[in-house]
Amino acid sequence: MTVRRTLAAAATAALMALLPNTAQAAESYPDPRPITGQQIIHDPTVMRLKGGGYVAYSTGGVIGARLSEDGSHWDDAGNAFAKPPAWWYGYNDTGDPWAPDLSYRAGRYWLYYAVSSWGTNHSAIGVATSRTGLPGTWTDHGRVFSSETTDTWNAIDPAVIRADGRPWMSFGSYWSGIRMVELHPRTGKAVEDAKVHHLATRPDEPYAVEGPEIVKHGRYYYLFASHDACCSGVDSTYKIKVGRSASITGPYVDSTGKPLLEGGGDLLLEGHGRYIGTGGQSVFRDRGRDWLAYHYYDKQDSGTPKLGLNELNWARNGWPNVA
């Protein structure tokens, strides 16, 4: 029986490597990698530090922090900041930051994050830097980009990538969907009079797509985004979809050629079993392999948000799938 199961699993994996990443039966989605220790998290961004070990930052606290030596056992490490920078209070009464993004460039770690209030696009994205990437070592540099109620986008959920030697930041939540601006390579803030590129949206209000993450693989840029609703425990409907483009600013399309600006996107991962509302994703590279980090709501633990980690594989046709 064990041999049969092994052969069946190998055949399934081989078939998935040949097919585009279209929707699949919920029971066939892989469970996240088993982890221990502090599992509670929301909107994780994960990285293997150059000094050794792993760090994860997240929504909650003053940008909540987790540390791990092996990527499997995680410990609570407090917060990125001891207290909220004063300017955060211009966007909510509690100085509550959301959805951080961690990257490394020019000898420093860069931590982008958003400050806003639920249901408004009076929002801003800020940035801090650190030489080590560890909690308690961050220096805040203020606003990167912002939005107001007169804008047709929402400046939250930042994600930064380098393309053609320049840094770019995707962002967005509901309103008109996912947007992008170019960043200044020295300051890490939006260039003067930055053009706001439109990358993805949904055809109908409330345009429920958010939390972008863009990675380069081969000759394409891949845009991962969370669709539908988060933050409702086991009633959450979050799922992760993906499209790609040969240009960082788009147009992005799914494997059928449908533009993400018309609601397209291949379904990469959705809720299954105890793992409800998979989303808030980021991608990190570790020892030559790509990993998808996300949160899910644990159906067997009253909908508590927890850290999901799956290896991200790439099919022969270039499209990603989770393992």
**Residue 34, preceding peptide bond in cis (omega within 30° of 0):** no
* Residue reference for tokens 């469970």: 31
Rg, Å, the chain Cα set: 19
Is 43 a known active-site residue?
Answer: yes
Percent of the chain as helix, strand, coil, to the nearest 5: 10, 45, 45
Local structure of residue 88 (DSSP, 8 states): G
Of the CA atoms within 13 Å of residue 1, those in its CB half-sphere come to: 0
Q: Which of 96, 210, 266, 298 is catalytic?
A: 210
- Which of 239, 242, 216 minimizes the C-alpha distance to 226? 239
Tokens representing 294 are 């996300």
Query: Which contiguous run of DSSP H or E holds residue 18?
Result: helix 2-18
User: Euclidean distance between the first and final Cα of the chain, in Å?
Assistant: 22
Tokens representing 10 are 């190998």
Q: Exposure pattern of 230-251 as b/e (b: 16+ CB <10 Å)?
A: bbebbebebbbbbbbbeebbbb
Burial of 39 (0-12, 13-18, 19+ CB in 10 A): middle
- Please, are residues 232 and 240 in contact by the beta-carbon 8 Å criterion? no
> So which residues are the catalytic ones?
43, 210
